[in-house]
Amino acid sequence: MLLKLTGSSCSGKTTLAFAVADRLRGVAVHDFDEVGVPQHPDRHWRHRMTELWVRRALEYQDRGIDLLLTGQSPLGEILAAPSSPLLDGIAVCLVDVTDQVRRGRLAQRDPGRWNTPAVEAFLGWATWHRGHARDPRHRPDVITGDSWPEMAWHRWSKWTAQHPCWRTHVLDTTDKPLTQSVRQAELWVIEQRETHRSGQLALTRGWAG
């Protein structure tokens, strides 16, 4: 199955994923950007790369391995990727922090690099992620507008927040010790895999039909 940690920059996605890597058997951990990021990444690039990673998850699936992937693609993009219905299971977790914490982390990550408009863009993207996690009707144009033509938005475009398949777990790392956040991420992965094995996972093969 594909286990996706999503969210805007500096929420801690990659740190959490690689911290739990050695604690989980049968799970491969990767970061979305490790395939290389163009100088000016756009929606087309992110959508194409989302499909690439879904296909990578399918390769792992054939070997009996789950993929824990970090990156900024939200649930709606995962579900719209052409090959996603072939996955045995999909689970998404939004890793989030307050705007104040995100500002501080951006400043620490690369001092002097981020100007005010860039920081505000990250904060706006984080706000959108929160709304999208709650309701598929929250500004879908943010990801569907000018998108890669292969994306199948119709799979969920008529869903509401009450649809049983629209599920994004939220893990807020604000003011939490890293060890606590790592443990919560580990438990989320364990719970999703157990739910999948028991046949109770909402996004299991056949959800798109």
Cα 110–chain centre separation: 23
Q: State which residues form the domain around 157.
A: 2-197
Token pair listed for 126: 């984080």
The pLDDT of residue 28 is above 90: yes
Determine phi and psi for 162, rounding to 5 degrees: -85, -5
Residue 68 lies in a domain: yes
Residue range 115-147, pLDDT digits in tens? 678 888 889 999 999 999 999 999 999 999 999
Residue 83 lies in a domain: yes
- The answer to whether the beta carbons of residues 1 and 193 sit under 8 Å apart is yes
- The answer to whether the beta carbons of residues 192 and 1 sit under 8 Å apart is yes
Whole-prediction pTM: 0.94
What whole-number percentage of the chain has pLDDT above 70?
Answer: 97
State the residue for tokens 């364990």. 190
The domain tally of the chain equals 1
Residue range 104-122, pLDDT digits in tens? 887 777 666 666 788 888 8
Residue 203 lies in a domain: no
Residue 173 CB coordination number (10 Å)? 23
Mean pLDDT of the chain: 94
The pLDDT of residue 95 is above 90: yes
Residue 48 lies in a domain: yes
